[in-house]
Chains A and B, each alone.
Chain A
Amino acid sequence: MKKQKNSVNRREFLKGAAGTVAAASTVAASLVTNPTPAAATPAMHANASAPTLAKVSPTEAVSIESITVDRPGSDFMVDCLKSLNFEYLCANPGNSFRSLHESLINYGGNKAPEFITCCHEESAVAMGHGYAKIEGKPLMVCVHGTVGLQHASMAIYDAFCDRVPVYVILGNFPDAAMRFGQVDWTHSAQDPAAMIRDFVKWDDQPVSLQHFAESSIRAYKIATTPPMMPVALVAGHELQEDPIADGANLSVPKLTMSSPPAGDSSAVDEAARMLVAAENPVLVTDRVARTPEGLARMIELAELLQAPVVDRNGRMNFPTRHALNHTERAGAAVGSADLVMGLELTDFWSAVHSVRGIRNPVVQSAVKPGTKFISVTSNDLYLKSNYQDFQRYQPVDLAIAADAQATLPSLIESVKQQMNDDRRRAFADRGAKHASAHQQTMQMQREAATAAWDASPISTARLSAELWAQIKNEDWSLVSNCQFVSRWPLRLWDFSKHYHYIGGEGGYGVGYGAPASVGAALANKKHGRLTVSIQNDGDLMFAPGVLWTAAHHRIPLLIIMHNNRAYHQELMQVQIMANEHNRGITRASIGSVLTDPAIDYAKLAQGMAVHSEGPISDPNDLGPAIKRAIEIVKNGEPALVDVLTQPR
């Protein structure tokens, strides 16, 4: 990387600019003597509170060539970032990364990554969260120093809890002598990443371009090695804007991805022995399937053992209509197990315990005495201390600290080797029983869905069934958390592909749903999939500007509003408190509902050029409205159908 002719560093530019201003205006009269160029300032920074200005002779005015920079450091940063093959960059613009922004769109051609304009940093990060769960790799997010990062922090925490990689670049003004005006100062930090260090896997603040090069590659590698998490890299203002020095010996290191950590062979063999020997093993999954391969291997293991799978749905781990999917009879399945294998469980403890009651909760084991436990999780490899997302400690009989998906192939092979004909017959026998129980459970779900079938507001079961009827013959992808609609899609639909479901927030931070859905839709776009989101009303109101992002970038997404006109989870919680306190049980809605006035989500969407209909309160009107919206989405645009719904 050679310095271009006529290039000039920022200090020289500032000196020249200040000189020019001094020569042309009365500002010069107010200048005080200070020969240090670093204290000079361009006119754009001049304000009443500006620091001491340099006295510059008019004769020092420089030519136009010397106040341009042909090859800023941010160009080299783009070289580094392009080597990581990001498809997209999600950001709300901020001057602490303005040079990088310009380099990305001009020097980098606004391709790989392409700039996605976001209206909130939280939306930018959450888009990266949703994108990564579909695409299996991170996108890049730029956030403004301090204020932008503070906006972004909740979404970073959600991604951290959900073990999802997001590649975050923070702007900053590290050199105090180069901050001019109060804005630069308020957008600077001594240690910018400190506020998120508890919930990113790694961060760095490079002090040279070569340092940036190595850390940018290292950050990607760390973020994408299980357990995956967000990373943050600080791009200093001067490092971005100063020209690349003449003769600078810069290079972009080669990225070599780490293979995901697989289980130790002896531990894997022991796990296989326990599984083969067990009379009634149960596989409990949460974030196993990082890719389609993970889903395929889970099916292979379950079928080999004829063992039921209880899916906690952090990812699309197991087909919902598979005879061995016993998620909807989880209590019965776990309760009769003699071996429970937890695969990438966020919370093993709650999978094998019950808690009854609110005021004086009673904790009980949910398994039979003597039941054995095996854990396979990459969470055992890396934990942070401060935030308590690691859940209660669950003793197990065998703990394999490894990525479950990477461990499944060797586990399957070991199980095959340790099976004999007697065990195969036993497995086949129990498989038939499990298939029968699965069918009965599915029928129970259908019968349960009939309750309030014709109700208005529309039941969440009816909403889910109407939506399924319209998408079941498409190549669909549901990218919203089903928890808030009583999990009806998971109970009724045929989920069978990896992208059919991506789990939820991770950290239960409200405001994730809308942007993560748009991010997931962005990932699905090139695959031609019909991306669907059942969108909670309260969640959308955190940062509805993401609808504009979807419209602006032509991101096809079908948004079905679950509009119960409340922060309903909290409404229930306040009701519990009102009852417990034995007073005022009619006032729980104060502070928790979104009425008076009711929010018109169709108009909200229309205001951002998103096709919309609603609010729809008659269940018979829902199917046709969804059908019309799908036609819009198939043409490459987002569409929203506002549905007035039952609470859950």
Chain B
Amino acid sequence: MFRCLASLLFTLVLAVAFAHPTAHAQNSQSAAAKSSDEKSATSKTDEAKSVDTSRGNVENGKKLFVSYGCYECHGRQGQGGGGAPRIGPPAIPVAAATRYVRNPTGQMPPYTAKVVSDQELSDIFAFLKTIPPPPRAASIPLLNQ
């Protein structure tokens, strides 16, 4: 009946959301982790070279995005939600994202090479790149009421 794990995650998310000095409540933790990874990734791009979105299979990436559970936290169009950040569009830096997926430090669970191959990651990132950017809020009357 009682959702212990749910409560734990909720607490963790809130704790982080209230704590991070720059990001808003929804994505502070992972955004911070991503930022940190971006810096380290610039000197370690070789590790991510094998993940190349230009070689990605968009259709397969779209399937994997669901079957591997990415959508559960990030939404079916990568829009983010709950404690998970938006991952596209705009397209996220592949090198940093790859490093983070392999060895996350926040709420993100690890997607190791054992369960997701480099090619599959390429497919997923290729799919994310195909999602068209959303309209600006100013152009949507429902968001200006």
Contact = CB atoms under 8 A, between A and B. Distances in A.
Nearest to A450: B134
A449 B19 contact: no
Given A312-B14, A446-B143, 4 more contacts: A356-B16, A356-B32, A576-B109, A578-B69
Nearest to A619: B142
Nearest to B135: A450
B119 to A, nearest CB: 16
Contacts of A347: 11, 14
Interface in A585-643: 585-586, 588
Contacts of B106: 356-357
A585 B115 contact: yes
Interface residues of B, number: 63
Nearest to A586: B67
Contacts of A445: 24
Contacts of A113: none
Contact of A646 (B3, B32, B81, B114): B81
Contacts of A585: 68-69, 111, 115-116
A455 B115 contact: no
Interface of B: 1-3, 5-7, 9-12, 14-26, 28-29, 32-33, 67-69, 71-73, 75-82, 84, 86, 89, 105-107, 109-112, 114-116, 134-137, 140, 142-145
A194 interface: no
A568 B86 contact: no
A510 B135 CA distance: 36
A254 interface: no
7 contacts: A331-B23, A331-B24, A448-B86, A462-B142, A465-B145, A647-B73, A647-B75
Contacts of B29: 354, 356
A344 to B, nearest CB: 16
B143 A450 contact: yes
Contacts of A449: 137, 143
Given A357-B105, A358-B109, A334 B18 contact: yes
B5 A570 contact: yes
B118 to A, nearest CB: 16
Contacts of A578: 69, 109
Contacts of A468: 142, 145
A573 B9 CA distance: 8
B25 A453 contact: no
Contacts of A335: 19-21
Contact of B105 (A154, A329, A356, A508): A356
Contacts of B26: 448, 486-487
Given A328-B24, A582-B110, A588-B69, A350 B134 contact: no
A423 to B, nearest CB: 26
Given A509-B2, A579-B115, A366 B19 contact: yes
Contacts of B72: 568, 571-572, 575, 588, 647
A515 to B, nearest CB: 14
A355 B9 CA distance: 10
Nearest to A464: B142
A327 B14 CA distance: 11
A377 interface: no
Nearest to B8: A573
Contacts of A447: 136-137
A487 B19 contact: no
A487 B80 CA distance: 12
A425 interface: no
Given A355-B12, A508-B3, A452 B76 contact: yes
Contacts of A450: 134-137, 140, 143
Nearest to A580: B109
Contact of B14 (A350, A443, A452, A582): A350
Nearest to A483: B10
A20 interface: no
